[in-house]
């Protein structure tokens, strides 16, 4: 039984512009799905609509099920974030808040008493111990993204949707996050990750989904999608090569 299933899921704006066209797929619990596509291909529209974020002037059609629940957009915010949480690439606050305060807020969502062991475990796994007393506005963009990821994992939705949430991380942190994401997935969290870094996606994801001009053109294992034909469909004008990483054994794109 799939945790998340889409059937002919579409997102349209009012004067009939299609942002996401008739998308169908299933995602089992503990999966990591990478979402890739050129700018404006509809990734964010897809991810936001799945997460139940309503945007004025947009309509969805088709079916979207998360753990036997449909009509995510009709739920109360609390019911919704227990199922699916959407995180974007950055955040800011005009107030002086520390990292510890933010993470504890994440831990308290929808529960009576926060799971302190969980918080400690995530902080250790992501090496965020030194960050805790820091004021959020003093963090760099990349540091903020680490904190945001930690908050999402601590909050423990069934599906964590990360929309370019690692765009500012350095290589070392990126690979570390990939490893930790795999670990959290093994513990039963499900991830949808949009990124512009194909080589990061091949490292972190079990499966990839390619979008182009509002349409999902391919979905499958990394090994099946990193082929000359599929890549040519994605980028007709680019000559991309596929190589195998001697380090991780995963396929990588060379350009």
The binding site for another protein (CB under 8 A) comprises 53, 76-78, 80-82, 85-88, 91-97, 101-102, 105-106, 108-110, 137
Contacts of 159 (CB under 8 A, 6+ apart): 3, 4, 27, 50, 66, 83, 84, 85, 190, 191, 192
Q: What separation, in Å, do the N-terminal and C-terminal C-alpha atoms of the chain show?
A: 39
Q: 219, 36 in Cβ contact below 8 A? A: no
**Strand pairing report for 58-66 and 4-13:** antiparallel
CB of 28 or CB of 77, closer to another protein: 77
Closest distance of CB 135 from another protein, Å? 9
Least distance in angstroms from the C-beta of 86 to another protein: 7
Nearer Cβ to another protein (113/237) = 113
**150/251 with CB nearer another protein:** 150
State which residue, 161 or 185, has the beta carbon closest to another protein.
161
Q: How far is CA 54 from CA 2, 82, 208, in A?
A: 24, 17, 25
Tell the smallest beta-carbon distance from residue 194 to another protein (Å): 16
């Amino acid at each position: 039984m799939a945790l998340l299933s889409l059937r002919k899921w579409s997102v349209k704006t009012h004067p009939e512009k299609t942002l996401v066209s008739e998308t169908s797929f299933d995602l089992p619990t503990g999966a990591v799905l990478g979402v890739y596509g050129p700018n404006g291909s509809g990734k964010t529209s897809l991810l936001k609509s799945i997460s139940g974020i309503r945007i004025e002037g947009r309509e969805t059609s088709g079916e979207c099920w998360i753990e036997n629940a449909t009509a995510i957009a009709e739920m109360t915010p609390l019911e919704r974030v227990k199922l699916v949480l959407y995180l974007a690439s950055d955040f800011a606050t005009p107030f002086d808040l520390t990292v510890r305060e933010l993470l504890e807020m994440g831990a308290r969502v929808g529960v009576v008493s926060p799971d302190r062991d969980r918080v400690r475990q995530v902080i250790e796994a992501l090496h965020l111990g030194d960050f805790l007393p820091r004021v959020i506005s003093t963090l760099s963009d990349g540091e903020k993204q680490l904190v945001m990821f930690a908050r999402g994992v601590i909050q423990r939705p069934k599906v964590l949707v990360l929309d370019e949430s690692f765009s500012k991380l350095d290589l070392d942190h990126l690979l570390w996050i990939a490893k930790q994401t795999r670990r959290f997935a093994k513990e039963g969290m499900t991830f949808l990750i949009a990124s512009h870094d194909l080589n990061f996606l091949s490292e972190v994801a079990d499966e990839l989904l390619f979008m182009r001009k509002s349409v999902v053109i391919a979905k499958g294992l990394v090994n099946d999608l990193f082929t000359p034909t599929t890549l040519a469909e994605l980028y007709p004008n680019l000559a991309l090569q596929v190589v195998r990483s001697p380090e991780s054994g995963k396929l990588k794109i060379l350009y």
